[in-house]
Amino acid sequence: TLTAQVTRVHNAQGESDHIPLATTLSISADSGATPRRALKADREEQIRFVRVIEGEFAMKVDEHAPLDTPDQIDAVAQAIADSFSAAWETCSREAYREHGLPEDWKLYRKAVKNAKRVFFDSRITEISITNKRTWDLMSWVQQRKLPPCEAIQYQGQPCHALPQLWDALHNC
């Protein structure tokens, strides 16, 4: 879970007219009551996460509001923490956890199937773009071996190889 706490550190102020703020972001594993969440390792998802933070913060705080009192600063700091928490809940998803149950096996097989589909779809797209011949992926397009059949004989000798067949055809 992601929790945030903002506190004023009065004893670190010194001679400055500013009060330092300490923000504690706590990311911890729970006892299992709430599911573990994760953000996809995808650049677009990460950009979306940052945009959600910006949107949440813009809704909670007026950018021209004065920050004159400690309470106003606390409110803005808490808005930042709340924006991070809301974005995390919006953009993250429940992480896979294995408990040895049949449902876990089904989820695993589904994930593998989806990963294969994504890989092969991208491979097909890549081949179709590079040489414009998607049929190169088909096994029936590849070079074939000679089919097994009764041997053709020429001058009493069977013709099993392609050069022997061409010689027989040429000399007939």
- In this prediction, residues 22-43 reach a mean pLDDT of 72
pLDDT value, residue 117: 95
Residues with Cβ within 8 Å of residue 17, at least 6 apart in sequence: none
The three-state secondary structure class of 34 is coil
Return the top range by mean pLDDT from 5-9, 28-32, 109-113, 130-134.
Answer: 109-113
Query: Is the per-residue pLDDT at 152 higher than 60?
Result: yes
User: Which of 71, 87, 98, 68 is CA-nearest to residue 2?
Assistant: 87
- In this prediction, residues 52-77 reach a mean pLDDT of 84
pLDDT value, residue 31: 53
> Contact 78/67 with Cβ under 8 angstroms?
no
Q: pLDDT of 162-171, one tens digit each?
A: 888 888 888 8
Confidence of residue 159 (pLDDT cuts 50, 70, 90): confident
- The dihedral built from the CA positions of residue 89, 90, 91 and 95, taken in this order, carries a sign that is positive
Q: How far is CA 128 from CA 98, 117, 135, 141, 160, in A?
A: 38, 16, 9, 15, 37
The per-residue b/e assignment along 46-77, b for 16 or more CB within 10 angstroms, e otherwise, is eebbeebbeebbeeebeeeeeeeeeeebebbb
- In this prediction, residues 90-101 reach a mean pLDDT of 76
With vertex at residue 55, the alpha carbon angle to CA 27 and CA 60, rounded to the nearest 5 degrees, is 85
